[in-house]
Amino acid sequence: MKLKKILLSGGVGLFLLSVIMFTLTSKGGPGGGNNSICSAEQKELKDASISIAFTTPGNNGYPGRNDFYEFYIPENDIRSGHQNPASSLTDGSTYYYTVKVTSPDCASVNWTGRATSENGGNGNMTIKVPKGSMKVRIRIEYYEPCANGIWAPFNTRLKYIREKTFLSTLPSNTTETFFLAPQSRISCSGSGTSGSTGGGGGSVGELLDEIMQ
């Protein structure tokens, strides 16, 4: 009888231990969630290379700008050969752009870089991405200059956005190209949106139609 109790208690203990081990394994370790993906080692940052380019506009000169018609490329713009971006958005004399890196798999991955003459001024930029095999989201925001451009009489500037999510982190030995497209016109007097490229009153296309007439 005593032996039966010992075997029974031992069996119950082994069952409970199995349940605990299965729970920890299915949750990725103590603490739950995707801890193995979002561990300190996995989210440690490394260098990666990107380059920016602009959408092919077609024959009408907008909305992607016509590289062969310089009138549609503002002065002090990266496409005009200038390699000295602004240090803040309040400086409208030249272009300005930032790159933000996050991960849908790990909320604590959050890196933001600003283009400088040493890194990004020629369109190529070294950024930071997590080392681990997690999803990576990269968002680029590019602002054309306010002064000496086609938009100067309207006191607005074009804002370009490109956001892309990768199923795994970027390799260090290749360069990923991002093609930017204009999303809206931004007031040079503040941060408000003056109009979008999607149509409607005051859109980018309508204003360019008016200028070209």
Distance CA 152, CA 158 (A): 11
pLDDT, tens only, 169-184? 888 888 999 988 878 8
Indicate the average pLDDT of the chain: 75
| pLDDT value, residue 200 | 33
Q: Is it the case that residue 40 has pLDDT exceeding 50?
A: yes
Distances (CA, A) of 165 to 69, 75, 190: 33, 32, 30
What is the residue type of 194?
S
0.75 cut: is pTM over it?
no
Q: What six digits make up the tokens of 154?
A: 């309207």
Phi, psi dihedral angles at 80 (to 5 degrees):
-95, 5
pLDDT, tens only, 109-123? 999 999 999 999 999
Would you give the DSSP letter of residue 22? H
| pLDDT value, residue 6 | 45
